[in-house]
Structure 1
Amino acid sequence: MENDVAITLGFPQGGTKIDRRTKGAEDTTLLEDWKAGLKMDDLNITPMQLCKAMLAYKEGWEWFKRHLALLITTMFLESTATGYVNTYMINNFADVTKIADLNWCEYVLRSLVDSKVAWAKKTSQKFTGPIVFLTVFYVDRLVVYRRSVPRTFLAFKGWDTHLLNKREKAEISSGGFGYGYIDDPQELPYLNEEKKSDECEEELQVTSTNTMSCN
């Protein structure tokens, strides 16, 4: 399943698990520095406000990368019921050189499960899970009649608002959501390369063995 996230969104599958801070049990030093840098007294900042604040970081630097990681977290992993930026994972971005070493794919799946459980208990509240992944994964894997949108890697690159609207209308006219057939998952390109490399190595071994036998 982690591969499905990587194929859909292109997130890293690093070896470090993403931790979610809990109130009262976390080191808030980085969080306080974040607030101070944005000249905020609280955590009530919207993604749009954070985007505007990022424009001040002309050279990039560490805080630009942390801001970007927080935006990606909020938009693709786990949003908030209030609509503000999700800061619960900020301590994972203390060392910006290790952001790619985090297992973003695993957290998307963890967030999906946790948010579904929370939403099921109170369906009137906002669903805060990875809705972009859920939507694109659904339209990529479930085919209605025939595949009208060519598959791409990454999967989300093949879909835009117009195509998603057309897909929604097609499903409604066909009788509802979930009708169709489930297509096979795509394979990650680097896994294909590893597979080809293994096959090539096996062929070389067979050829070498046959050659030695002939001699």
Structure 2
Amino acid sequence: MAEIPRRNSVRRSTRLILKSLKRPITGPVYVDLEADDADQVIIDATISENNNHVGDLPETMNNVGDTVIVEENKGPVRGQVTLSDSDNDFVDPAPWSKSKEKRQDNTVETRNVKRKLVLKETEKEIPEAPRLNDNKIKLKAKKSNVDDKAQKRKAKEKIEERIEIVEKADEITKIRISPRILSDMICALSDAQQQWIEDAGFKNLLKFELVELPQRLSYKVLQSFDEKNCMLVLKNGVIEITGKVVHAILGLPYQGAEIEFVQDNAVQERLKKWRSQFGISNGQSLVKASDVVDKIKQTGDVDDTFKMNFLVVMANVLIRSNTNNFVSQAVLYFNDDLDHCAKYNWANYLIKSLVITKKRWMRTSSLFFTGPMIFLLVSIFWFYSLPHS
């Protein structure tokens, strides 16, 4: 077998290359040559009659497009000389080199030509990859979103379901919003505003004067509360936490329907109106309790803004607050007219919040308690002030 020239060797004989290649082919053979003779640049030997081998090509080639005859074992086979610049389907590609190609119109074009000997097999149909059903994709994406929400919900409930109790760094209990906020607001109310508070069922709150809580005593009292049986266990007795007890201590309404919170259009409009007084239009609104009290002090009118401000301060100080220094706006989702507050059981709402926040407090390392700490502490003094005590 003749040796095929490589690298910088000059390829002058197409016949020698094709003769050296003795392997079956099923299609055209493209030979990209770097030769001095422009007519011998690329040869397309198209084999007819389903022959499997390429025979000898004549040493001397005419111009591109001429017909050539290749001698085979079965007889002569016709082929055609064509010019091709295809760079597809390389076999053993040689290094890059620069050459000039002269076309039929005698124009000269300089470009990068890859020295190569290419065997192009018969093209086969590649089966198209199966496409997934769009509905299945949507269902999978929807299932993924549901799984993410479920994981977040489980992570949130993990604290409440945890068995072990986390020890505090110090035996003290703090609250986010000081009772001084509520007492300052009560002192700044106008007569019309006090009348509305009385009609709303919060008459006893007009006597609220507490300004601070002892942190160590609050810790001991909170530890004494049994959230499973909803009772405060003391050395001299037990205080069962009921709606009547809450009403006797704080004066919150304890009869009527259960409080419901919704997120309908009416509630959304109420939220926008409340946030607009602080210059908040969209997004999360971070408002401090002191800012709400300042708004109440600016006017003595009894409008919807005042009613919402009062409920926000009252609920954050007495019932439940956020884990940060900003007020919780949950009470604004109240599913009724704000003038109908007296028709609902606010005492039971406080008890539910007490149980939930106590469970979370026992299972976190935070010293802050977001539940009704004022109620628990005042209930101790109320209990010992009773005649039987």
TM-score range, shorter chain: 0.5 to 0.7
2:302 equivalent to 1:86 = no
Identical columns (%): 21
* Residue 250 (structure 2) aligns with: 9
Given the alignment of the two structures, is residue 29 of structure 1 paired with residue 282 of structure 2, yes or no? no
**Structure 1 residues 93 and 34: CA distance shift in structure 2, 3 A:** farther
What code does the residue aligned with 2:330 have? Answer: Y
Counterpart selection for 1:71 from 313, 318, 331: 313
**SS of structure 1 residue aligned to 2:330:** coil
The residue number in structure 1 matching 2:363 is 121
Distance 1:14 1:91, change over 3 A: farther
The structure whose RCO (Cα within 8 Å, separation 6+) is larger is 1
Letter in 2 for 1:90: L
Whichever structure has more strand as a proportion of its residues is: 2
Structure 1 length normalisation: TM-score? 0.60
Q: 1:38 aligns with which of 264, 272, 278?
A: 278
Which amino acid counterpart does residue 63 of structure 1 have in structure 2? T
Aligned-residue offset at 1:125 = 4.9
Cα–Cα, structure 1 residues 27 and 125, in superposed 2: closer, same or farther, change >3 Å?
Answer: farther
**Structure 2: stretches of 5+ with no match in the other structure:** 1-241
- 1:56 maps to a residue whose letter is Q
2:291 corresponds to which of 41, 49, 67: 49
The structure 1 segments of at least 4 consecutive aligned residues displaced by more than 6 Å after TM superposition are none
Q: Give the match for residue 134 of structure 1.
A: 376
Task: Please list, as runs of the form range in 1=range in 2, the aligned pairs for 1:172-183 lying within 5 A after superposition.
Answer: 183=389
Cα separation, 1, equivalents of 2:364 and 2:261:
22
Residue 70 and residue 36 in structure 1: after superposition, are their counterparts in 2 closer, same or farther (change >3 A)?
A: same
Contact 2:321–2:327 under 8 Å retained in 1: yes
Q: Which SS does the other structure have where 1:127 is aligned?
A: coil
Query: Who is 1:213 aligned against?
Result: none
What displacement does 1:37 show? 2.8
Distance between the aligned counterparts of 1:133 and 1:111, measured in 2? 12
Any idea what SS the aligned residue of 1:117 has? Answer: helix
Kindly indicate which of the two structures has a greater share of residues assigned to helix.
Answer: 1
Instruction: Report SS of the residue matched to 2:310.
Output: helix
Q: How many residues align?
A: 146
| Partner SS for 1:89 | helix
2:337 to 95, 117, 122: 95
Question: What is the aligned counterpart of 2:353 among 94, 111, 115?
Answer: 111
Maintained 8 Å contact 2:246/2:347: yes
Q: Which has the larger radius of gyration?
A: 2
Match in the other structure for 2:260: 19
